[in-house]
Each structure stands twice: as C-alpha cells, then as structure tokens.
Chain A
Amino acid sequence: MGIADTIQSIGFLTDLRESALVYPIVMTTHLTCIAVFGGMILMTDLRLLGIAMKDRSVTDVVNQFRIWKRVGFCIMVTMGALLAGSEAVKYSGNPFFWAKMCFLAMVAVHAIIFRPRVYNNTAAIDKAPSLPGRAKLAGALSLFIWLGVLSMGRLIGYYEGPGPAPAKPLATVTQPRHISQVAR
C-alpha cells in the first residue's frame, strides 16, 4: 500500500469520504473560509496597492485583519487537509493538486520575504509620501498567488486521471458538473 492509500484508509478519513453529508459540509466550510478570509487577504492586498480603503492607514488594515486571517487560514487548511486526506490516492496523482501546493509554498516564500519588509513595517509605509514599491509588489504578488491557489483548487475537480480521455460527444451533459464535484 502506498502512502496515499495508507492516509485515506485512516478510519475517520474513510468515514469522511464515504459520508454523503459530512464531506460536503467540510467542503462548504472550506469555501466559506476562503470567501470570508480570502476577502480580507484581498482587501489587504488592494490597500497595499493603493486601490481600496485608502482612507485607512496600512497599519490599521494589516494589523486588524491579521488575527482574522490567521484564524481563517487555520480553519481553511484543516478543512483542506481533511478533504485531500480523505481522497489521498486521487489527489496525489492530480497535477492541479500539486500546482495548488506549489502556490501554497509560494505563500510561505512571500511571507518570508515580505513580512519583515512590509507587513511588520507598516508604520514606515504609512509615513512615506506615497506607497513604496515594495508594498505594491507585496500586494500584487499576494493577489497573483492566491488567485493561483483558488484556480488550481477548482481545477483539481476536472482532472480525469492519466491516459487518453474517453472520446466524448460534444455538448452532452449527462450529469451535473459543479463546484462540488471535486475529484469524487
């Protein structure tokens, strides 16, 4: 048995995968956290770019959102790990899943680079006559990386495994394609 097989054979992960109710609830929680806390990441990025919340100081925006972004990130990652763990065999062979993981690794790199220079240095940014380039760069890269995470996450559900895809007649919709049809 491979590692992925071992992971998804863990009792509660098997239960999760096989539950018609719990699986979608975990997924909804994942998506809700993305919505609420991703929205905060977005507003922080837009503030750093000088596009939104211009009447608020960068310090206010960064510091006040921080705790919520952390809470959201923890719930989001927990739910995501449950979803991926319960379908570990499918996910481990899915290139979009690994693309998403790469984007998440870029989130970490982004934090290492920009936390000391931007997020922990907001007082200097607020004092500057105009938004410094490093703040804008941090905001723009963060937006790009998170959109990558989001898009790759969605595309996980569309990967049909290796080998030639069965020839499908054009435009026949036989069963619901939907946001929730992720790799099931």
Chain B
Amino acid sequence: MFLAAAENPLNASDLIFPVLECIHIAGFTILLGTIGLVDLRILGLGLRTQKPAEIARDVGPWTLIGLVLVLISGPLLFSSDPDMYYLNPSFLVKMVLLALAIPFHYLVRRKVALANGSGVGSKIVACTSLALWVGVIFGGIFIGFVNQLR
C-alpha cells in the first residue's frame, strides 16, 4: 500500500512535508475548535445563548471539513516514512485514540449534542470527547519525542 520512503515522490521535495504539516495543523484546528465549542456548550461553560443542538448544527460541516483535511494530509505524512511511524509507540497510541474518537464523535457525542443534553451523562460525554481529541494531539506530538523518553 505504501512505497518505501526512498521511492515516495513526496520525499523528492523538501517543501512538501512542511506544507502538508501546515495543512494537517490547520485541519485539526478546525476539527478540534468546532468540536470543542460544542463540548464547552454541553458543559455549560460558554455560548449559553444557544442550545447545544444549534451550535452542533452550525459547526457540523466545519468539523467534517477539518476531519477530511487531517485524514488526507495525515496518511500522506505517514507515507513519507511508514516504517518509522509504524514502529513508533506514540503513533500507535494516536491511532488507537483516533479510532475511538471518530466513532465516538459521530455515534455518541453528536447525538447528545443534537438532543440538547445537559445532564451529568452528557457532561461525561463532552469530557470524554475533549479527552479523546486532546489525547490524539498528545499522541501526535510525542511521535517525535517518545524515543528520548526511553
């Protein structure tokens, strides 16, 4: 599925990788910003003039745009050096968290938001959502640091 690092045209230019990273960061900014807004609203911490469902509907398309951006740029970044990523424990943690975060968002968090949930259960869902996504970012950053920790 993936080329060896040396054969990947992506590695032919020094510029492609940083540009992809910028797209990746912009993508997860859109993704997390929009998800965070709704989570904060469910927690009652902000935007109280609107109902959670209203905000969720407002930002829904943007969450999807952010997700599409990271899911395109991410695998491309991965393909630049698959062996390094595959063997990196932080990357594996990130993938596990991501595999949890995406279905959790669309199957659980979204329904809670659209039902205007505000009870304890809904707040736990919002906290879980925030924790999962922040965990994904932690996993991503630590890819470059994890080998120093051992």
Contact = CB atoms under 8 A, between A and B. Distances in A.
Contacts of B2: none
A36 B36 contact: yes
Contacts of A171: 5-8, 11-12
10 contacts: A32-B134, A42-B33, A43-B59, A52-B62, A56-B50, A67-B46, A147-B26, A155-B22, A171-B7, A180-B145
Interface of A: 20-21, 23-24, 27-28, 31-32, 34-43, 46, 52-53, 55-56, 60, 64-65, 67-68, 147, 150-151, 154-155, 158, 170-173, 176-181
Given A32-B32, A43-B59, A52-B58, A68 B22 contact: no
B29 A176 contact: no
Interface string B46-83: 11111000100011011000000000000000001100
A171 B29 CA distance: 30
Interface string B1-41: 00001111001101001100110111011111110110010
Contact of A64 (B26, B46, B142): B46
Nearest to A152: B22
Given A28-B137, A176-B143, 8 more contacts: A27-B141, A31-B25, A32-B32, A53-B59, A56-B54, A67-B46, A154-B22, A176-B84
B30 to A, nearest CB: 6
A34 B5 contact: no
Contacts of B30: 39, 42
Interface residues of B, number: 51
6 closest Cβ pairs, A-B complex:
A39-B33, A180-B144, A35-B32, A178-B144, A24-B145, A36-B36
Interface of B: 5-8, 11-12, 14, 17-18, 21-22, 24-26, 28-34, 36-37, 40, 46-50, 54, 58-59, 61-62, 80-81, 84, 88, 133-134, 137-138, 140-145, 147-149
B79 to A, nearest CB: 11
A180 B37 contact: no
Contacts of A67: 46
